[in-house]
């Protein structure tokens, strides 16, 4: 299981600097929440960790992001290996238009060779159990994943990630499309998963950050203004800008 160390990270979209001298340490077996107003850089930071920003024309990155003693910003980084290690869950669940079973084994078929049907069956069962969906779906594995509820789709997408055995889970507003009950279930799942993964979540919901995270970072205009234990950030922030945001004075 990996942690992430960020040293003097800067990122530009063309002439616009979206991340400014970011330093942080994301700890293994912890949930870290990134909060801040829209456009502050938190989703950009998240996408640095699996190099998704590379897909955007004109992006430049400087600094270090160390995962397993490797600076993943390097041109020598194997992106296939990196994205297997660092999985991402998006704001809207994006299951493939395939069966539930085929969604989960999709990554296994790409990354592994010589897998038997028995082994794939085990992967499906283990992955669905990990996201608390096995009992609900074990008799519906050949059903289209698109027929599931939004919450089930989001948990299925997490199961699809877990199937390829990542070390880090990135979650970009994973509950923004869910109702309160479904949100509660996904938050419960996050708490379970942190026993085996390093989890970083971007959220606009400060109550969610307070409920599920161990550590919190507050970003503003591309800067990581404050980073620390969630309880400390929410009860005794050191920076007035953090206090102003948490108390609703802006953002």
Q: What is the pLDDT of residue 111?
A: 67
Query: Is residue 251 assigned to a domain?
Result: no
Q: What is the pLDDT of residue 73?
A: 96
CATH of the domain at 20: 3.40.50.300
Query: Is residue 181 assigned to a domain?
Result: yes
Q: What is the pLDDT of residue 75?
A: 92
Q: pLDDT digits over 117-173, tens only? A: 898 999 999 999 988 899 999 999 999 999 999 999 999 999 999 898 899 999 999
Alpha carbons 3 and 150: distance in angstroms, whole number: 30
Alpha carbons 64 and 162: distance in angstroms, whole number: 26
Q: Say if residue 251's pLDDT is above 60.
A: no
Q: Confidence band (pLDDT; 50, 70, 90) for 208?
A: very high
List CB contacts of 181: < 8 A, sequence separation 6 or more: none
Query: Is residue 18 assigned to a domain?
Result: yes
Instruction: State the Cα angle at 122 between 189 and 116, rounded to 5°.
Output: 145
Alpha carbons 211 and 107: distance in angstroms, whole number: 31
Q: pLDDT digits over 26-59, tens only? A: 999 999 999 999 999 999 999 999 999 998 999 9
Query: Is residue 63 assigned to a domain?
Result: yes
Number of domains in the chain: 1
Query: Is residue 183 assigned to a domain?
Result: yes
Whole-model pTM: value is 0.91
Q: Confidence band (pLDDT; 50, 70, 90) for 86?
A: very high
Least confident of 24-33, 103-112, 155-164, 208-217: 103-112
Query: Is residue 169 assigned to a domain?
Result: yes
| Mean pLDDT of all residues in 51-74 | 94
Helices (H) and strands (E) in the chain, counts: 10, 10
Q: Say if residue 99's pLDDT is above 80.
A: yes
Query: Is residue 62 assigned to a domain?
Result: yes
Q: What is the pLDDT of residue 115?
A: 78
Alpha carbons 66 and 63: distance in angstroms, whole number: 10
Question: Where in the sequence is the domain holding 231, given as residue range(s)?
Answer: 4-246
């Amino acid at each position: 299981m990996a942690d992430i160390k960020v040293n003097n990270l800067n990122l530009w979209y063309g002439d616009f600097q979206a991340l400014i001298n970011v330093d942080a340490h994301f700890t293994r077996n912890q949930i870290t929440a990134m909060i801040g107003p829209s456009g502050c850089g938190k989703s950009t930071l998240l996408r640095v960790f699996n190099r998704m920003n590379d897909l955007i024309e004109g992006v430049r990155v400087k600094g270090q992001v160390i995962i397993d003693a490797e600076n993943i910003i390097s041109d020598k980084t194997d992106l296939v290996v990196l994205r297997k290690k660092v999985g991402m869950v998006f704001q809207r669940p994006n299951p493939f238009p395939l069966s539930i079973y085929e969604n989960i084994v999709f990554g296994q078929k790409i990354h592994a060779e010589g897998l038997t049907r028995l082994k794939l069956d085990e992967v499906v069962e283990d992955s669905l159990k990990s996201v608390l969906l096995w009992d609900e779906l074990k008799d519906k594995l050949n059903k289209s994943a698109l027929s599931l509820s939004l919450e089930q789709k989001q948990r299925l997408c997490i199961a699809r990630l877990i199937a390829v055995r990542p070390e880090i889970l990135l979650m970009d507003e994973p509950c923004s499309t869910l109702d309160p009950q479904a949100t509660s279930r996904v938050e419960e799942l996050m708490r379970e998963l942190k026993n085996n993964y390093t989890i970083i979540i971007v959220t606009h919901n400060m109550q969610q950050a307070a409920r599920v995270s161990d550590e919190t970072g507050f970003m503003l205009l591309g800067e990581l203004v404050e980073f620390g234990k969630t309880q400390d950030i929410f009860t005794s922030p050191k920076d007035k800008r953090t206090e102003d945001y948490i108390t609703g004075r802006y953002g």
